[in-house]
Structure 1
Amino acid sequence: MKSKTLNDYYKEHLSGYRSWNQLSHAEEYMYFKDNLGENISIDETAFSNGELYTIVTNKDGHGKHGTVIAMIKGTKADDVCRYLMKLPEGKRRMVKNVTLDMAGSMRQIAKKCFPYATQIIDRFHVQMQMQEALQELRVQYRWQAIEQENSDIKRARAERRKYIPQCFENGDTLRQLLVRSRYLLFKSPDKWTNSQRIRAGILFKQFDDIKQLYYLTLQLGQIYSQNYDKNIARAKLALWFNKVEEWNYPQFNTVIETFKNHNERILNFFKERLTNASAESFNAKLKSFRATFRGVDDVRFYLYRVMMLYA
């Protein structure tokens, strides 16, 4: 039997797909009221055609049956809220905590649909903003190094001499040093390989600001790792903000302003220490599932399979 024939037979006759009670609207939204719990996550995912879906999941599902509460096409707050409001009001009022990222649409969705829940901004989104600012600083220096290298090559040609780039003790030029330092800046020093440790030493010797801001990024992670009371965490973060602001770098000032705008929701992490890790893990499972399908051509059948596995 041809694989296509087997797949079609499974879909049309064996799977129960055609008798699914949410088939008519599944591509726009699907929801499962019995899966609502006290601690939920809101995240987004993209299918292979680039379509974004907002996903609401129950943390107590642990990525198995009972995890999916709702999957709704798009991320526009008004559209998502319209479908989430179909969930029973009594069950929505029972939700105590919602973990989410800093997107304004996610905030509106959580506020309108789960009005009695505490919003908790995921710690990894907070830390990632600081890491992205650090990488932006590295890239800024990299472009400067490329510009300087081009100028040196042009000067060497004008003087009719061979251009020989200056190398550090590990064999890197300045340009290569900045390119090859990308991954080590995402790691803590105890996870560096020997070559990364050498490269980091050279990098930090050349760029003291990258060194200091790298260790401030690590300090942010350490604040999150300690089991602080919310008020103690507030004081710790305030001191950390001051240290970062002293550098007065535009990209880091933007990060600090973003943190201040979401301050209370960031600090709510220290009450229950809940993160969006379960949602990110579930998102990874969906990506793996999409890979098994070799993409998503039939969105409704894909969502039906997701429902059977995770709802």
Structure 2
Amino acid sequence: MAIVAGTKAEAVIEVIRKIPESLRKKVTEITLDMASSMTMIAKRCFPRAVRVTDRFHVQRLAVEALQEIRIKHRWDALDKENDAIEQAKVSQTEYQPEILGNGDTVKQLLARSRYALYKKPSTWTDSQRERAQLLFERFPDLKKAYELALELSNIFTNTSEKIYGLTRLAKWHEKVRQSGFKAFNTVARSIESHYKTIVNYFDNRSTNASAESFNAKIKAFRAQFRGVRNVEFFLYRLTQLYA
């Protein structure tokens, strides 16, 4: 086992090429994110492998675009609240924030709806469902952005053939263009730049889920000891626990 500091392509390639070429040529498929360094590593080390852009990295871009819109509204709400408080001081009156049907202020609604926007409606709790309804009624653009993110997820979940996946992604791209959301346009452009490897997902539905799960376990294990001083012993412990 070897550890490479960082993700510089040349350093990773040097380590991987220590594996005999005959073995590397047996690799038929690789899942990766959209980083150019990962693409270079895959091309040079595993030339025969089909590259698949991990669907969860694509979906995460859409969710981050959605959260960016929510955060913008939250900052606007904070500014309005601060202006109202200052105005109340000037007029020597008591500031009374607007209280919504679920007991949240607008500022709290935007802050507390964060986790609901990561989830599908079918998995919402009762309080999250009520909060989402209030949020979407007050901020229709957030509802539209949430639906775009959800539709992208559903394309990967409910499509089994590459040709249909490509068609549905193209239709989604057009909806994004019509929405006018700058953040989502960036997501759509990223998908357009990597569509050849993104649609490869529909062949075998391969993802990085197992690798991401293992990586999370390593990080949690490392956090227990507040870092690693003896790398060799740390690797030994990992092999004993997870090998």
Structure 1 distance, partners of 2:42, 2:241, is: 25
Structure 2 distance, partners of 1:181, 1:282, is: 29
| Mean Cα deviation higher: 219-228 or 121-130 | 219-228
1:196 to 128, 131, 143: 128
2:233 to 272, 280, 301: 301
2:116 to 177, 180, 184: 184
Normalized per residue, the structure richer in helix is 2
The equivalent of 1:259 in structure 2 is 191
Q: What's the offset of the Cα at 1:115?
A: 0.7
1:84 to 16, 21, 25: 16
Structure 1 gap ranges (5+): 1-29, 32-70
Amino acid at match of 1:133: A
Percent identity, aligned pairs only? 49
Structure 2 gap ranges (5+): none
Structure 1 distance, partners of 2:178, 2:159, is: 27
Q: What's the offset of the Cα at 1:219?
A: 1.1
The equivalent of 1:101 in structure 2 is 33
The CA deviation string for residues 233-284 of structure 1, in whole angstroms up to 9 with x for no partner, is: 1001100111112112211111111111111111110011100011011112
> Which protein shows a greater Rg?
1
1:143 to 59, 75, 95: 75
- The two structures have a TM-score, normalised by structure 2, of 0.95
2:156 paired with 1:224? yes
1:278 to 207, 210, 213: 210
- The two structures have a TM-score, normalised by structure 1, of 0.75
Map 1:1-311 → 2, pairs under 5 A: 30=1, 71-291=3-223, 293-310=225-242
Q: SS in structure 2 opposite 1:73?
A: coil
Structure 2 distance, partners of 1:147, 1:294, is: 39
Root-mean-square deviation over aligned CA pairs: 1.5
Q: What's the offset of the Cα at 1:300?
A: 2.1
Structure 2 distance, partners of 1:242, 1:151, is: 39
| Mean Cα deviation higher: 242-251 or 108-117 | 242-251
The equivalent of 1:9 in structure 2 is none
Distance 1:146 1:288, change over 3 A: closer
Structure 2 distance, partners of 1:309, 1:89, is: 30
Structure 2 distance, partners of 1:112, 1:308, is: 32
Q: What's the offset of the Cα at 1:288?
A: 3.6
| Mean Cα deviation higher: 130-139 or 219-228 | 219-228
Structure 1 distance, partners of 2:81, 2:210, is: 46
Q: What's the offset of the Cα at 1:309?
A: 5.0
Aligned length: 243
Distance 1:166 1:94, change over 3 A: same
The CA deviation string for residues 108-150 of structure 1, in whole angstroms up to 9 with x for no partner, is: 1111100110111111111111001100100000000000111
Q: SS in structure 2 opposite 1:119?
A: strand
